[in-house]
Amino acid sequence: TILKLIANLINPTSGKIFFREKDIMKIDPLIYRRSVSYCFQQPSLFGEKVADNLSFPYEIRKQAVDRKRLLQLLHEVSLEADYLDKDITSLSGGEKQRIALIRNLIFLPKVLLLDEVTTGLDEDNKAIVHQLIERVHQQGVTIIQVTHDQDEITTAQNIIRIKKGGILE
């Protein structure tokens, strides 16, 4: 719920959320979502091919696809160039999650919201995703990650524990 509120996917019933000193309810959602990107627990891919998903951020910006950038990102998550032509129905859960994450990172956001993005992934895929998240963080992107996995928070700078809607620590 917190991530959906921050992503402006749902409206708060009380209080306000500010981004760069502005109430997010007063920021054009299209502009806001270019700065704050949400990666869901269950990756949602569309179209038929991986390329359909990775070209979408360019299409909504009315820009030509930067194939070199796509290949670089695929390489960063241990996927080969031929993945662009793969049917999304043939991908494993780990591959789908990595494609969804790449889609969120083609244009680096200011804030990346991660909702249990490694749930259900094997250890190798978790390590790949963690390495990418760390590289993105090193580029100045703020990462807000929700997880129930204690191993996920070992590199966190700040941890907020929430239980039954209240902050524990």
- Which residue in the block uniquely carries the two structure tokens 């917190």? 2
Would you state the structure tokens that stand for residue 66, as one six-digit string? 């930067």
Q: Exposure pattern of 139-163 as b/e (b: 16+ CB <10 Å)?
A: eebebbbbbeeeebeeeeeeeeeee
pLDDT tens digits for 66-121? 999 999 999 999 999 999 999 999 999 889 999 999 999 999 999 999 999 888 78
> What is the pTM for the complete model shown?
0.89
Domain 2-167 of CATH type 3.30.950.10: no
Q: How far apart are CA 38 and CA 135, in angstroms?
A: 17
Instruction: Work out the pLDDT band at 166, boundaries 50, 70, 90.
Output: confident
pLDDT tens digits for 110-137? 999 999 988 878 888 888 888 999 999 9
The total of other beta-carbon atoms located within 10 Å of residue 37's CB is 22
